[in-house]
């Protein structure tokens, strides 16, 4: 009951309800540690419903 009240007041889901269903995302973006290419491939998980990033972004390799 308290969770529903807080959700209505702040329009934020309780922490337990976020990031239950996730999907893996791979993206290419600027990476200062990749000197030659200047870009890197990153991997992270996002919430399937909201698109909110659930894990830290991990660089897999330099280049895309």
Counting the structural domains of the chain, the total is: 1
Is residue 14 assigned to a domain? no
Give the predicted TM-score (pTM) of the model: 0.63
pLDDT at 35: 86
* Residues of the domain holding 40: 19-64
Residue 11 has pLDDT above 60, yes or no: no
Is residue 10 assigned to a domain? no
What's the Cα-to-Cα distance from 33 to each of 27, 41, 53, 58, 62, rounded to whole Å? 16, 12, 22, 13, 8
In tens, the pLDDT along 12-58 reads: 555 557 899 999 999 999 998 898 889 999 999 999 999 999 999 99
pLDDT at 45: 97
Is residue 3 assigned to a domain? no
Residue bearing tokens 């399937």: 48
């Amino acid at each position: 009951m308290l969770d529903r009240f807080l959700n209505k007041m702040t329009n934020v889901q309780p922490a337990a309800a976020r990031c239950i269903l996730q999907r893996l995302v791979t993206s290419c973006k600027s990476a200062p540690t990749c000197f030659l290419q200047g870009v890197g491939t990153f991997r992270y998980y996002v919430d399937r419903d909201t698109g909110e990033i659930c894990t830290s972004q991990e660089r897999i390799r330099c280049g895309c």
